[in-house]
A and B are shown apart, each in its own frame.
Chain A
Amino acid sequence: MAQGNDSKSVIRSIDWATITLYLILITWGWFSVCGASYDFTNPDVFSFSTNSGKQMVWACTSFTLAMALLMIEKKFYNMGAYIIYGGMLLLLIVTLIIAPDTKGSRSWIPLGPVKLQPAEFAKFAVALAIGKYMDKYDFNMNNTRQFTRLIAMICVPILIIILQKETGTALVYLTFFLVLYREGMTGSLLFTAFAAVVYFVVGIRFSTDTISVNLPVITGEFVVLILAMVFTTIMTWIYTKNELALKVMLVGGWGITLLAILFSVYVIPFDVCKIILFLNLLIVLYLVVLTFYYRFYKYALIAAFAAMSTSFFYICHTMFDHLADHQRIRIEVLLGMKEDLRGAGYNVNQAKIAIGSGGLSGKGFLNGTQTKLKYVPEQDTDFIFCTVGEEEGFIGSAGVLITYLLFIWRLIALAERQPDTMGRVYGYSVLSIFLFHLFINVGMVLGLTPVIGIPLPFFSYGGSSLWGFTILLFIFLRMDAERNIKRQ
């Protein structure tokens, strides 16, 4: 096949819908950076001394970068995936060694006037590498050895980035588990993660109050133990369909728990948690017995889940008590246990005030008093969504969210139409990363998720992140453009 013909058909096959959404988001983002960093003493938004001027440069270079990336064939990534991955690991390690300490983090490499953060770029390397690995002919998610290697490929960069003290960026890598889920990883793992978050939030949030005089139990402990029992029972039913086991758990577990609660409420109040804890331990024991009786490994997994769930509250508590003060306070503020408007809660509270003041249609471009008068810190980077909320109001901010939703859905469609696993895995990696950033960043500004310093793609000021997201996206768009070409 002639190279020229290929190129033409490839350019014709580029998904212009995604590129349009990309351009809309970047432009919208640039206006927001203008709004957030605008300084009335320096009204020239294109001046290189302002953040808006710099962001314009970053955007233009991103477009060039995008063009270049569209020229690089998929073959290249296919062959070079592991090399890129290895090189990126090396770069991360080098960064860890040579990077100067900036506000406690060692992740920025100064290059002349600008600084680069390799952790932002490493995501695409991981995405390529796991894509390539899963594209192997004999790859099977249920093969423990292969699965372990896959997990290792994701976790090694996480560890290095954690050592660089960029916990927020490291958390982004957890989104690869969403990709693994799409590729066949059992949903119970995701569910376990979800359960862990629920346990943690409920357990810590309600770790001091009791339910009532007649039910003198610690609310958090009580709810977590009950949830552990319920989740275990449901899992047992779904994964084994063992009716006997179900009946045993319903009668022995739920039944006795109910009796204990009724006894506490109507006869003599006592700490019901002791009983439930004991019952949960019995259920764990029962599942272990079943494992040996039926010689079926799923019972063992459920037993492990039940044991972990039951002990989670106590482990969390011990760990929580041993956290450093500022970390504990952050968590307490997030969970609404403390109102700390001067310390950790200040940013979030000011952010909510700024957004709330926007109303339906906002105050208009450059007219946001909250953001202009610098009530919100870090407003052109992590808290950029405040400016959108204040100046463009509900219409604008909901518009941003909907545009993002369309963007992510479009990427799902693109990923699904890939002819090979590599393309699909890579596509899902890209969209999962965008989704995670959106989830954490906007959630944090709205006071719904923890304050983790990660940028809102295309909106937050900064070259590294803009380049990183552009690279991530355009490698995928080129792969997608080649979907109609038969693999050689």
Chain B
Amino acid sequence: MNRHANESRKFVIAGIALIIVVTYIIRLAFLQLGESDYKTNADNNAFFNNVIFPSRGVLYDRNGELLVFNQLAYDIMVVMREVQELDTLDLCKTLGISKQDFIDRMNTIKDRNKNPGYSSYTQQLFMPQMSSKDFSIFQEKMFRFRGFYVRERTIRRYATNHGAHVLGDVAEVAPTDIEKDPYYSPGDYIGKQGVERSYEKYLRGEKGIEVLLRDARGRIQGHYKNGANDHKPVPGKDLTLSIDINVQALGERLMKNKMGAIVAIEPKTGEVLCMVSAPSYDPRELEGKERGKHMMEMGRDPMKPMLNRAILGTYPPGSTFKTTQALTFLQEGIINDQTAYPCSHGFRFGSLKVGCHAHGSPLTLEPAISTSCNGYFCWGLYYMFSNRRKYKNVQQAMTTWKDYMVSMGFGYKLGIDMPAEARGMIPNADYYDKAHKFSWSALSVISIAIGQGEVTLTPLQIANLGATIANRGYYITPHVVKKIHGDKLADSLLVKHITKVEPKYYEKVVNGMRRSVLGGTCHAANNPWYEVCGKTGTAQNRGQDHSVFMGFAPKDNPKIAVAVYVENGGWGATYGVPIGALLMEQYINGKLSEESELKAQAIEEKVINYGTRER
């Protein structure tokens, strides 16, 4: 063989070797000398950032009663390398777990799929959230279990079993929260619902950190740069809620076995005094270890106890809405004190008929409100929408009408300081143009005059209507937090919203509402202590009508405005009026009279059967 035939190919092979080595050296330079993610990740592994959790702010009610606080709990940690000569049986007995449970927990820790940060040299979570009672038993024996450690955590505790929807709850952060806010790391707690969520930034405080150095054995070597990079945790800010927990408790009691919502507002300040959504649940069910189980049970419940109907439920307001119509017609000059419309068991126009109950006819505004006359307000709307001297066409009339409604806080979110809120529905001209292909008139939309048809409001918006009338023409954005300790409330919660209707017209509606308590639909709300103004509503529904009440008291210098909405409760006077009256009494008098107490018991015992269908 000619040995030199392909000798030059040795350069190709030597070249391949060179290319490989040079490529790898470049790669090494990139990894080791460049500023890459890999370096910071390695720092994370070598430095030990010991996070010190701040205490979360606690919650008080408006009278200073403690509602939500923190309690120490203990996580049992384990360092696998140090576990030696373990008396498994003794450990299981002390912790109250089975041997199989122990094996499962150990296997979960070692499984890199479930526990990606596993290292046998560092502390791993063995058992979360032991109570101090259980922990004290464990603590006595801890010296026997080598490799087991304790980490203190605080968990949320509730001093009350009321107000679950307002208070909300905390739980471990979801991965999506971590993505959105780098403040959180896995295992941290975050507010999930209610005030806990909407005031998360104030309540959580700021985590402290100790930067510790570890050597190759995983032992702590002390503070990095003598603690120059450490900082102390800042405790979370406490909150005083505007909720009166006694009113809240009474509301929940009265709504027992019913579905619906109650909202009470202090008109002058916009502070929400109670926010009941029924059915409700005990906030303590979402504490600690049992949370997941209860969440699942409630998620399956067809009555949806987790849903806060007070701000997320949208309902037809029924006759309570007539007050807004009266205000609009007065301000627009469609009606005045003397204007009287006929009502012969309702509003009749051609083949169209909106029914009404028996009362005198024709009648003026005040009696129309107190008797809750459908005919009066239908005529009012008819004359407004058909008035071609004032409005070019029906669209323009509709737009004017809508602007009044919006100025009263309907159709858009009110901006309450809760995590979610529905906006309800106020139709506009576009809406009907689309629905009726531009050919529509006052008669097509007549039912909006009596709070039916397309109009829907949240119970909060109905209560806010009460507050607006009580204030004679303005409202403050409703809010459930009265005070942040060491900080001030968001400006948006203190804004005064003035409606498009002048106070003098409000006075007329107030008189009408007063009359309905004295001798109209709301007479059950009358009492000797203070002057109540109210308006019932009986919102038509496919099934049994909804029972609605909106009112405030006292008439002059009002302290409380209330909206009660009981689904399928029938006449407004059946449930709405007595529940509203009791709440006012509880708040204004601070307690219920004996007679009222009996009434409360009677209402509490009433059950409305809703069947089991999904709603």
Contacts and interface: CB of A to CB of B under 8 A. Distances in A.
Interface string B12-23: 111011101101
B45 A139 contact: no
A412 B13 contact: yes
Contact of B42 (A139, A342, A370, A442): A370
A446 B217 contact: no
A354 B28 contact: no
A342 B214 contact: no
B176 interface: no
A397 B28 contact: yes
A182 B39 contact: no
A372 B12 CA distance: 40
A402 B43 contact: no
A409 B29 CA distance: 23
A402 B22 CA distance: 9
Interface string B43-74: 10110000000000000000000000000000
B46 A370 contact: yes
A339 to B, nearest CB: 12
Interface in A412-441: 412, 415-416, 421, 424, 428, 431-432, 435, 438-439
A342 B111 CA distance: 10
B25 A373 contact: no
B120 interface: yes
Given A357-B38, A373-B122, A394-B32, A366 B10 contact: no
A397 B24 CA distance: 10
Contacts of A40: 216-217
Give the interface SS of chain B, mostly helix, strand, loop or mixed: helix
Nearest to B43: A357
Contacts of A149: none
A373 B45 contact: yes
Contacts of B42: 353-354, 356-357, 369-370
Contact of A372 (B9, B33, B217): B217
A360 B39 CA distance: 12
Give the interface SS of chain A, mostly helix, strand, loop or mixed: helix
A214 to B, nearest CB: 34
Contacts of B231: none
Contacts of B439: none
Given A181-B9, A182-B6, A373-B122, A356 B215 contact: no
Contact of A374 (B14, B16, B119): B119
A342 B112 contact: yes
Nearest to B81: A41
A448 B24 CA distance: 9
Contacts of A355: 28, 31-32, 38
Interface string B150-190: 00000000000000000000000000000000000000000
A316 interface: no
A373 B33 contact: no
Contacts of A421: 1, 3
Contact of A353 (B6, B45, B215): B45
A54 B116 CA distance: 31
Interface string A91-122: 00000000000000000000000000000000
Contacts of B122: 373
A457 interface: no
B193 to A, nearest CB: 31
Contacts of B120: 374
Interface string A198-237: 0000000000000000000000000000000000000000
Interface string B439-452: 00000000000000
B41 interface: yes
A409 B13 CA distance: 9
Contacts of B99: none
A356 B1 contact: no
Contacts of A435: 16-17, 20
Contacts of B14: 408-409, 412
B21 A401 contact: yes
B449 to A, nearest CB: 54
A408 B216 CA distance: 35
B214 A352 contact: no
Nearest to A139: B1
B595 interface: no
Interface string B207-219: 0000000111110
A285 interface: no
B462 to A, nearest CB: 51
Contacts of B45: 353, 357, 369-370, 373, 375
A12 B18 CA distance: 30
B163 to A, nearest CB: 41
B216 A389 contact: no
B105 interface: no
A393 interface: yes
B121 interface: yes
A31 interface: no
A439 B6 contact: no
A374 B6 contact: no
Interface residues of B, number: 44
A238 to B, nearest CB: 16
Given A342-B113, A369-B215, A446 B31 contact: yes
A394 B27 CA distance: 10
Contacts of B43: 357
B7 interface: yes
Contact of B21 (A181, A359, A393, A402): A402
Given A353-B42, A354-B42, A360 B32 contact: yes
Contacts of A358: 32
A111 B25 CA distance: 40
Nearest to B122: A373
B36 interface: yes
A178 B17 CA distance: 12
A87 interface: no
A394 B17 contact: no
From B14, B21, B25, B33, name the one whose CB has the most chain A CB atoms within 10 angstroms.
Answer: B21
B26 to A, nearest CB: 10
B5 interface: yes
A388 B243 CA distance: 64
A368 interface: yes
A409 B20 CA distance: 13
B28 A405 contact: no
B39 A438 contact: no
Contacts of A360: 32-33
A184 interface: yes
A198 to B, nearest CB: 15
Nearest to B117: A375
Contacts of A183: 6
Interface in A357-385: 357-360, 363, 366-370, 372-375
A155 B411 CA distance: 79
B33 A446 contact: no
A450 interface: no
Contacts of A432: 13
Contact of A443 (B24, B29, B33): B24
A448 B26 CA distance: 12
Nearest to B35: A356
A184 B6 contact: yes
9 contacts: A40-B216, A137-B1, A184-B5, A342-B116, A357-B46, A363-B216, A366-B216, A412-B10, A435-B17
User: What are the 6 A-B residue pairs with the smallest beta carbon separation, nearest first?
Assistant: A357-B42, A356-B38, A372-B216, A369-B46, A394-B32, A405-B21
Interface of A: 40, 137, 139, 178, 181-184, 341-343, 346, 352-360, 363, 366-370, 372-375, 389, 393-394, 397-398, 401-402, 404-405, 408-409, 412, 415-416, 421, 424, 428, 431-432, 435, 438-439, 442-443, 446, 448
Given A184-B5, A373-B122, A446-B28, 8 more contacts: A40-B217, A356-B38, A356-B39, A357-B45, A369-B216, A370-B45, A373-B218, A443-B20
Interface of B: 1, 3, 5-7, 9-10, 12-14, 16-18, 20-21, 23-25, 27-29, 31-33, 36, 38-39, 41-43, 45-46, 112-113, 116, 119-122, 214-218
